[in-house]
Structure 1
Amino acid sequence: MSSTERPLDVATLTGVRSGKGSYYRAYVRSDERMQRAVRAMDSISRALVRTVEGPRSLLEEVVRAAGSHLDASWTMLALADGHLPGARPRFLLVGPDGGVHDEVAAVPAEVRRELGAVRAGHVTRSRADQRWVRVPMSLEGRHIGSLAGLHGLDDDPEPRDLSVLRILANQAAVSLHTSEQYQAGLALHRRAQRLYDEATDRARDLEDRTRELRQAEERLVVAHQRELVDHERHRIARELHDSVTQYVLSAGMAVEVARGEAEDLGSAGAPILERLATAKALSQEAVDQLRRAIYALHQPHRDTVGTLPELLHEVAEHHRPQLSVSVRVEGDAQVLAADADHEIARAVGEALFNVATHAEATRAVVRLRYRAEEILVSVADDGTGDPTELARRLRLERGPVVDGRHRGLVNIESRIGDLGGSVVFRRARLGGVRVEMRLPLPLVAPRHAGVIHGLVGTGQKEPPWPR
């Protein structure tokens, strides 16, 4: 050992100083306190990993470890009033039996006095009883409470004992602060969840109200369209009654006069009489159709007829006095523009008119099928018609007609063709003919605007056709 090196002694090795010649008793006492400090740190470390139990289990371990280290009969941990208001529990008491108390009514008066001093924010112990040991709990340089114990040591605690207690107290302070932050986070989360739920409910309510307003707007538009259509129907009915019908009646009267003159010609007038008879029959049929049309135009309509199924039911109702008509709809109804609905309904009405007039039928079935890529409409009857003959008549009607024949088939084909569809004739299961109208989706805009299109254009903007 060099002369500059300090000689090692027992005090340096053990940390125990004594004026006596023997160090053993002081060494044993220091070792016991060191063992208690190690046990306290071990209990704290076990409590730290029990996070699911919250801060209370850790605080109980802190109070018990401090009591064991001080050999205390009563130990307490308490927050000063006004600090960490959201932290729970505010204080804990451990008695001589090791039980934890969180009510002050059953504890001794001296313990209540010490607890009151700690909660009042006093840092140092009371002079009334020097056996109380109190160390502050600090958080970010602020005194927020104290850890105190009524020690049972032979001597006053040494600085190393107080250091152990401060470690325990500050660990408790951090746990309480974390608990308060966690509770505050939970409260914010609950509040945010409540606000989110309220916003979701309001958004759902707004969506419902928006849908109701949109439906109301659609009903108003349809009602406006219906009002305009009804006005136009009555105007057309007046025009048919006051002009067209009178002209047809006058033509019939002229034909009748011509028949009388042809009869005076004798055998030479026979061919003329045959043609005049045909003209009389055609004029009578025209008058009958005009009267039915005028009657239908004068019939009251519902306030809202906005879908194709409703229009088909309405068309079927017009033919039921002369024909038993049933309407069957398959699939979910799709919203079509007003012109498309009415064009299809008019084509179906034309087909039913042909059935009632020419097919000698008693029953007809109208089927409407909505599919993902197309709409299928068919009119089947139990009459005497022939699909091949109807196809031949359609080819003839496509050409120029000068003899006044009815052009119902070509009208059906024209209306459906304008929407991008096609028409075929097949044998129906009922025994008659089935007119099949196939319209691919999305529908194309008709080449010629209909009555509804013109009327809506005067007051409302026509919705764009789907492409």
Structure 2
Amino acid sequence: MSAGSASPPTDRPAAVDALALERLIGVRSSKPSFYAAWRDKSARLDHTIETLERISAALCTTPEGPDAVCDAVVEAAAHHFDARWVAMMFAGDRVVGRSDVPPRTLAALAERAQASERPVVLCDDQATGEEGHGDAVAAPMPVRGEPAGMLAVGLPDGVVVEPSDLSILVTLANHAGVALQNAAIFQENERRAAELERRGSELEGTLRRLEQAGRRQLLSEERNRIARELHDSVAQHLLTIGMNLEWCRRHESTSPTVRARVTAAKSLARSAVAEIREVIFELASDGQVELRQALRDVIEDVEAGT
């Protein structure tokens, strides 16, 4: 240090130093040393940050469903408060808990939280009919602005609840309500997506069957057209041929040899007419049976799917 420099003053008032240190670390204390208070505040801050990380992790379990969200929220609350027990209570008296949850204490907390719509503290000296239940805190859990349940924590012995702890509990309860709602919506959307996929597959199968039925309908119409043409042209021509042959057979000028030939030809014409009629019947009936059966199958599949 040069000769012209001045040494720092050592006669500053202690109050000024205390004020400067208070502004620096944000801790007010009447003790000469701030180290113990600073360590306590630092530890609580680290613990709170870790709890917030757990809350964030709990919110990330939304796609896994409401049960996973409840378990994650309960674990986060148990970690922050080092709780003897933690419980989430919903409408209908459904309880998701960790460790042994005292029912009467939980009922008393639920009654007070519902009445006040804010965090409540239940001290050990406030009798609930259960001995040694210890202190407990609870915060209402809103969903869409309406109370849907409560998050309750059983505190360990000798723990004093700070306002920051209540803020953490309220934050966790509020986020739990939103996460549970989102998880339920997500689960419902997943169910609807699966249902839509199933119905889409059914509709695709029905469409294929209808296309097959349409092709069968076209085939049936073509078969009917062929049957009509056979009946209106070929069968009629054969009948006409048979009638002419019968006239020739009965004519007086017909020789026996020719009559025998005419009789054979008439028999062949009669057989041809019979065969044509069988073909016409098969063409007309088989197509109708196939179409009816195809439509019946489609209707049965649709009814079975619904």
What TM-score range do you get, normalising by the shorter chain?
0.5 to 0.7
Indicate yes or no: 2:28 matched with 1:13: no
Give the counterpart letter for 1:107 in structure 2: V
1:109 to 98, 103, 112: 103
The separation in 2 between residues aligned to 1:190 and 1:206, in whole angstroms, is: 24
2:244 match: 239
TM-score, normalization by structure 1: 0.43
**Cα distance change of structure 1 residues 159 and 165 upon mapping to structure 2, 3 Å threshold:** same
Q: Which residue of 2 aligns with 1:449?
A: none
Name 2:117's counterpart in structure 1: 123
On the 8 A contact 1:136/1:147 being kept in 2, the answer is yes
In 1, Cα distance between equivalents of 2:145 and 2:32: 44
2:187 pairs, out of 183, 208, 227, with 183
CA distance in 2, matches of 1:75, 1:226: 88
Q: Secondary structure at the residue paired with 1:231?
A: helix
* Higher relative contact order, structure no. (Cα contacts within 8 Å, ≥ 6 residues apart): 2
Matched, 1:165 2:180: no
Q: Deviations over 1:297-351 (max 9, x none)?
A: 1222253537xxx9xxxxxxxxxxxxxxxxxxxxxxxxxxxxxxxxxxxxxxxxx
Select between 68-77 and 213-222 the one with higher mean Cα deviation: 213-222
CA contact (8 A) 2:120 2:137 kept: no
Which one has a larger percent strand, Structure 1 or Structure 2?
1
Contact kept in structure 1, 2:87 and 2:101, CA below 8 Å: no
**Pair 1:146-2:155 in alignment:** no
What is the CA-CA distance between 1:146 and the residue it aligns to?
A: 3.1
Query: SS state of the match for residue 16, structure 1?
Result: coil
Question: Residue type matched to 2:275 in 1?
Answer: H
Identity %: 27
SS in 2 for 1:124: coil
Give 1:151 deviation, angstroms: 2.3
| Rg (Cα) greater in structure | 1
Structure 1 residues 39 and 292, CA gap change in structure 2 (3 angstroms): same
Separation in structure 1 between the aligned mates of residue 31 and residue 188 of structure 2, nearest angstrom = 57
Residues matched between the structures, number: 252
Alpha-carbon distance between aligned partners in 1 of 2:113 and 2:206, rounded to the nearest angstrom:
46
Superposition TM-score, scaled by structure 2 size: 0.61
| Shift in Å, 1:37 | 1.0
Partner amino acid for 2:23? T
1:63 is matched with: 74
Q: Does 1:27 align with 2:46?
A: no
Question: 1:236 & 1:121 partners in 2: Cα distance?
Answer: 105
**For the structure 1 residues 118 and 181, does the alpha-carbon distance in structure 2 shift closer, same or farther, using more than 3 Å as the test?**
farther
Q: Secondary structure at the match of 2:275?
A: coil
Partner residue, 1:404:
none
CA RMSD of aligned residues (A): 4.3
Paired residue for 1:230, among 224, 231, 235?
A: 235
Unaligned runs of 5+ in 1: 1-5, 83-89, 96-105, 254-283, 311-467
Deviations 1:401-442 (A, max 9, x none): xxxxxxxxxxxxxxxxxxxxxxxxxxxxxxxxxxxxxxxxxx
Tell me the distance in 1 between the aligned counterparts of 2:53 and 2:120: 31
Which residue matches 1:414?
Answer: none
| 8 Å CA contact 1:55, 1:179 repeated in 2 | yes
Give the helix-richer structure, 1 or 2: 2
